[in-house]
Amino acid sequence: MHKQAVLVRAAGHITIATGVLGTSYTDSGLTAGASYYYVVSAINPGHESFNSTEAGATLPFVQLKFDETNGTTAADATGSGWNGTLVGGPLWAAGKSGNAVDLDGINDYVALPAGVVSSADNATISAWVYLDAVSNRMRIFDFGSGTSTYMFLTPKNAANGKIRFAIKNNGSSEQIIDGTSALAVGGWHHVAVTLNGATGTLYVDGVNVGSNSTMTLKPSNMGSTRQYWIGRFQYV
């Protein structure tokens, strides 16, 4: 007797597949940045199980794998066209998985198209980072339109020497999440900032190193800013 599965996209209660005999299924035609939720039930002759516990996933707005080996374009793996442009002569190098872009810490950076996070109320921004050295004002990323509107992640801030995320809009005070120390030099480290409502959380290698539960600014507040930079800061 064979069991079959029925897969339902739960948010809209849409049945997207029936008669699935394997242990995996690929959903297609989805929208970048959107969240999807799923349940599955099993069927055999004359009987259908209850739905499984709901599972969900949020698709990235943009994903740069930096898997290229030459040229000045880093392709957006989501297929949404938010490709990165390498500026100043960065090199391609071996990465944590596949390849990576190697910035010299002087004038190299990667630029993203304007408006990447202009519609994001909640967001997670993450990256694998390998630091050869660390100094104040270095940027993992810095998105904004100058010194009055921006959000950035620095491996070491000038005020207390710790990894810091900050967001500022139209000349407001910065809203800050500080970690416990500067990001370590040498070796690959995974860094992530999650903004969800009033709570912002900073992670290093999967560990919560800092949070702020009074965040009122969100990426969409900044509008369609023009300077989306990896490895460069707004104070230039």
The secondary structure of 172-217 as a DSSP string is PPPEEEE-SSPPPSSSEEEEEEEEETTEEEEEETTEEEEEES----
Q: What are phi and psi of 221, to 5 degrees?
A: -60, -25
* Segment 40-65 mean pLDDT: 78
* Least confidently predicted of 9-18, 80-89, 198-207: 9-18
- Which residues are CB-neighbours of 155 under 8 A, at least 6 positions away? 129, 131, 134, 138, 140, 163, 182, 183, 191
CB atoms within 10 A of CB 99: 16
* Segment 153-181 mean pLDDT: 97
Whether residue 169 has pLDDT greater than 90 = yes
Of residues 49 and 64, more confidently modeled? 64
Q: What is the pLDDT of residues 219-235, one digit of tens each?
A: 999 988 889 999 999 88
Q: Where are the domains of the chain?
A: 4-58, 73-230
Confidence of residue 106 (pLDDT cuts 50, 70, 90): confident
* Segment 72-99 mean pLDDT: 94
Distance CA 187, CA 205 (A): 11
Distance CA 72, CA 57 (A): 31
- Name the average pLDDT for the chain: 88
- 4-58: CATH topology: Immunoglobulin-like (2.60.40)
> Span 73-230: which CATH code?
2.60.120.200
C-alpha closest to that of 225 among 141, 162, 159 = 141
Confidence of residue 2 (pLDDT cuts 50, 70, 90): very low
* Segment 123-140 mean pLDDT: 93
Beta bridge partners of 131: none
* Segment 115-143 mean pLDDT: 91
* Least confidently predicted of 40-44, 78-82, 108-112, 120-124: 40-44
Residue 5: predicted pLDDT: 55
